[in-house]
Amino acid sequence: MRHRPLTLAPPALLVAALMLAGCAGGRLGPMPVLKSPGAAAEVTVVRSNSLLGAPATMLVTVDGQRVWGLRLGQSFSLRLDPGLHNLGYDLGFNHCRERIEVESGQRYWIRLTPVCRIDVRRY
């Protein structure tokens, strides 16, 4: 019986395979139901461009419900009722959570980093 030598894939092929290994990005579940649509806050959630954790999809949750999968540098927008909300994300072994408060009719920009930092800015 003849044995073939083990050959390794070129590095570019390995990188491409790792990039595809994460879940697909995009909507994963229903958005939070608005009780007061006229008073809702506009929220844009952005994943930072950090290469740390780059191949994996960042799974975003709002009030305990998984809503979106973000790939490197992606963003999505949603509307939330005024008040306190639990915002979080899972990225590999990092499970990050923070309570945020949004005010009626305001606009927010929220940046998520792979090291459990959640930056909230009102604009």
Answer yes or no: is pLDDT of 4 > 60.
no
Structural domains of the chain, ranges and CATH numbers in brackets: 23-122 (2.60.40.1120)
Cα distances from 56 to residues 39, 99, 108, 115, in angstroms, run 35, 24, 25, 13
pLDDT tens column, 44-89 = 999 999 888 889 999 999 999 999 999 999 999 999 999 999 999 9
pLDDT-derived band at 2, boundaries 50, 70, 90: low
In whole angstroms, what is the distance from residue 7 CA to residue 69 CA? 35
- Return the percentage of the chain with pLDDT > 70, whole number: 80
User: What predicted TM-score, i.e. pTM, was given to this entire model?
Assistant: 0.79
